[in-house]
Amino acid sequence: MPARKRCVTGIEGLDAALNGGIPEGNVVLLSGACGTGKTTLGIEYLTYGAARGENGVYFSVTEPYEKLLENMRAFSFFTENLIEENKLFIIDVSLLYNRLGLLGEDRTIEDIDTLLWALIDTVRALHIKRAVIDSITAICSRLAQPSKIRELVFNLSRMFTHFGVTTLLISELAGSAGRYSTYDVEEAVSDGIILQEDVERMGNMMRTIQIIKMRGTAHSRAKYVMDLSTEGALMVPLLKWGLSGE
């Protein structure tokens, strides 16, 4: 069988840990507590692809467009020109809700279905190869019928995979160990899970990152330190960091 094509993330250390990148078309849950660097990693992933001919879209549910842009301008990897060149798209989901006439606080499954088709239409019309949804938790939290969350994530994953879009679903974790998603279903239907955590070490908070699962490839299961600098995210093996970082 031919090897599956890879989507190279461009995050230093992550592609090596994944044996070359995320298998193309996978839908991956990027889970972590607040401030662990999920958004930054997502935008760096999209920017890397967009600069190499793979159009990317970031669906923002939790942060308004201007604020997000302001935060990203601080990072050297962020190339704002890619937006003007129609290679990188940032879409404010609250505006999408308004455009679709979905104005109430709670959503029915029909509303979510409407949103799902709007996301799919966007991805097709813009020839998207990489997508980030930030966050799937925020979309699910407005769903009045929690039993439908599995269906939503399943349908979304299936359609994005069908169109060959390698997707990061950002999942906001509220802390309890051993869980990768708020509703406990997102992890079962996604092809991969990447976990970002805060670990205390000698009084300092340290960011870590670990690949929990990734369908379609062998991968490292080690915990890495994730260093966030103005240049972006960098994964360093935990042991190596311990030797040089103390």
Q: How far is the CB of 227 from ligand ATP (least distance, A)?
A: 9
Near ligand ATP by CB under 6 A: residue from 147, 176, 204, 229: 229
Instruction: Say whether residue 38 binds ligand ATP (CB under 6 A).
Output: yes
Q: Which amino acid, one-letter code, is at 142?
A: R
Q: How far is CA 183 from CA 44, 101, 145, 179, 187, in A?
A: 27, 26, 12, 9, 9
H-run or E-run covering 27? strand 27-32
Q: How far is the CB of 208 from ligand ATP (least distance, A)?
A: 13
Q: Which does 34 bind (CB under 5 to 8 A by kind): Mg ion, ligand ATP, none?
A: ligand ATP
- Long-range contacts (CB closer than 8 Å, 24 or more residues apart) made by 217-226: 217/4, 217/6, 217/18, 217/19, 217/20, 217/22, 217/23, 218/19, 219/17, 219/18, 219/19, 220/17, 220/18, 222/17, 224/13, 224/17, 226/36, 226/37, 226/196
Whole-angstrom distance, CA of residue 75 vs CA of residue 40: 9
Identify residues 45-104 at the interface with ligand ATP (CB under 6 A): 74-75
Closer residue to ligand ATP in complex, CB, 41/159: 41
Q: Which amino acid, one-letter code, is at 93?
A: V
Strands 232-237, 223-229: pairing is antiparallel
Structure tokens at 54: 């793979």
Near ligand ATP by CB under 6 A: residue from 10, 25, 32, 56: 32
- Binding segment for Mg ion among 21-29, 39-47, 87-95, 202-210 (CB under 5 A)? 39-47
Near Mg ion by CB under 5 A: residue from 26, 31, 36, 39: 39
- Binding segment for ligand ATP among 15-23, 33-41, 45-53, 145-153 (CB under 6 A)? 33-41
Q: Which does 13 bind (CB under 5 to 8 A by kind): ligand ATP, Mg ion, none?
A: none
Instruction: Say whether residue 36 binds ligand ATP (CB under 6 A).
Output: yes
Closer residue to ligand ATP in complex, CB, 39/181: 39
Residues in touch with ligand ATP (CB under 6 A): 32, 34-40, 74-75, 172, 228-230
